Structure 1
């Protein structure tokens, strides 16, 4: 019979009674105890000591007796050592046992099990990722006061191993199992480089990290190669795809090169508005910001386009360069309006905010790094952070209207492809 303890809340311990362990095979029973003990921090040290003492008793019998235990096994002094609990390395003193007739040490299976950091790479990886500097790890050891932590070099090596696995998993992830209806593309700065990230929105509204590419600028050649790589990994365009971008010309050309008439482009309305306002005197920006915002908030395509054309006439009296900026990609800022889904999906897909929010979460994990040494380091950190964030991403607002978006895309893009085919013939 073994008394079982369960932790509840923050450090609260509850005795949940007795559990019969005698019928469980010894190996399975030891694994169950190891798993249980590693969850019992900070009472784990006492539990480990009890397990080691019980093991010594089984091997050498009770103290000051010559009966019980393994024949010829005797206690042989104490030894200082260390064990791992979760990802904490802790000092411990344990009783040695020796087989006198054979003149050899008898190993303690429990002690050997706790010599191996069980899932420590994953635990350390998560702690380093959310802001725990490798150099501060010893000061941040949290399990019990006796913890003396790990060396910075050990933490770094284990984080490299864990993050390299994450990078490989993201780069090799198959995309054909996701029914992607919208693709959001934007970049995040890492020192002198840009990481262009692709975020997919599935037909049921889930957000999926599709991949990223490292580039100095969002140029057509690099972005086109990145998009082709997504297609090779299974990204499907045939059902119709909406691509949301901030207006970078290289990225726009890459979409046209790779996707052609299989995708519709929604230009970020926020970026367009701010680009236009940048040409105006500061005293006029607030007024035109309100007008542009009101125009884009019109629920239907004719009203929104008419309101923008009126603003265009006003801008001609102020700054022709602002008019040129508004004209560039004018229709692509109204794609959701033209498809008839702005009312339901405008909040989520009229801008690149879904990816901007993701970049903010990335910043919490990566902005603390003040020196990026290699490309591999940047990519490992980014992949690890993306996969750590992905499970907590929520479905987009208005996701129930995504099937309607798919139908509208098929109607528009199907007509465009038929027209292109007729002209070619």
Structure 2
């Protein structure tokens, strides 16, 4: 029933009102204000914690105590890490009655550089140059000023951190690792080469084993790397598959160091590239496809015959390609000869796992314009490896590693002299 005393309500159409406000600027101001509030609050909380520590050492201010073991010593300017930045604070001091200045636990905790070190390494991993590091940090509220953010300070911090990482890589014990597979490859930095060894354990986990710097991938440099691995605990008597790119110096050093326990798998992809480099462009696709089709077979003897026939067909017009194909042919079939198939075979027939790691190193070091010396190169590589190792995934086909280990042991046992087998 309609009311006779009240007017009827009318529905008013919705109206849209557009207000032009500097929303982005407002939000940015809010963000800076909130960050400034956090910094100021953090400093106040830290000041209260430090004063509580001083009271615990010296007793309450203005209260005489003949048994006190420390006295107040005024304050001094110091620096702590807040919000991932190093900023200045006023630090209260306490002096022991019978000793020198005493440490305040809360200040020791706040002055720790771990957050700053983490922020620095994360920025460099993201591609930030030393010169631009300060511009990536949040702006501090006035009158605060960030400390240790200049190019030189950032560089010194990175040098110290990367030196520590390098020492860890070069001194880590390998004695507890069971490594049936090791890959070795070199990455070039101008006129220098860093040799890198990547081990794969029985569960398919990847481990960076060691680094060695040299001017070339010479046998001497490789032997030095391998000797270092043995000194740090790598079992030299274990049957092991070595996956390499086909470099003669690599092969020679491995065979000389490990003897009959080392089985060499030469990268099939490197072999394919080496062969087609000797051919005119119109034959690249067909010869490359013929080699891939042969390697896809599980029968190593059949593959060997197919590739030998291919070399014979190339001999007349392209003898260089034929010679390249025949050179080390059997070592491109080692994994197949061991009876390994499926995903594990496709993974181990090339050096792709370690080359992917080399690609990560190249990306990490992309901003370096001048390599001053070998130590600098090693430091950067060690830092890149520390960044990459947290992203390591198990080797593709790792569930078949037990079959590879059994095949390695059987192959090595078959090559031993009869008197050793009897023993």
What is the TM-score of this pair, normalised by structure 1? 0.77
CA distance in 2, matches of 1:417, 1:95: 71
1:246–1:268 CA contact under 8 A, matched in 2: yes
Task: Give 2:413's aligned residue.
Answer: 414
2:130–2:155 CA contact under 8 A, matched in 1: yes
User: How large is the Cα RMSD of the aligned pairs?
Assistant: 3.5
CA distance in 2, matches of 1:373, 1:87: 30
SS at match of 1:188: strand
Residues 252-302 of structure 1: CA deviation (Å, up to 9, x unaligned): 110111011011000000000010000000111111111111111112223
Task: Give 1:210's aligned residue.
Answer: 209
Task: Give 1:88's aligned residue.
Answer: 85
2:172–2:232 CA contact under 8 A, matched in 1: yes
Task: Give 1:47's aligned residue.
Answer: 41
SS at match of 1:199: strand
Task: Give 1:400's aligned residue.
Answer: 399
Unaligned runs of 5+ residues in structure 2 are 1-33, 54-59, 65-74, 95-102
CA distance in 2, matches of 1:191, 1:323: 32
| Shift in CA distance, 48/355, structure 1 to aligned 2, threshold 3 Å | same
SS at match of 1:397: coil
CA distance in 2, matches of 1:52, 1:140: 25
CA distance in 2, matches of 1:159, 1:309: 53
Q: Which residue, out of 68, 71, 95, partners 2:62?
A: 71
Task: Give 1:315's aligned residue.
Answer: 314
How many residues align? The count is 368
Task: Give 1:331's aligned residue.
Answer: 330
Query: Which protein has the larger Cα radius of gyration, Structure 1 or Structure 2?
Result: 2
Task: Give 1:140's aligned residue.
Answer: 136
Residues 343-370 of structure 1: CA deviation (Å, up to 9, x unaligned): 3412211000001100111112112211
Unaligned runs of 5+ residues in structure 1 are 1-39, 60-68, 99-106
CA distance in 1, matches of 2:241, 2:401: 11
Residues 49-77 of structure 1: CA deviation (Å, up to 9, x unaligned): 44257569979xxxxxxxxx73389xxxx
SS at match of 2:371: coil
Q: Which residue, out of 123, 127, 132, partners 2:123?
A: 127
CA distance in 2, matches of 1:118, 1:257: 44
What is the TM-score of this pair, normalised by structure 2? 0.77
CA distance in 2, matches of 1:348, 1:56: 57
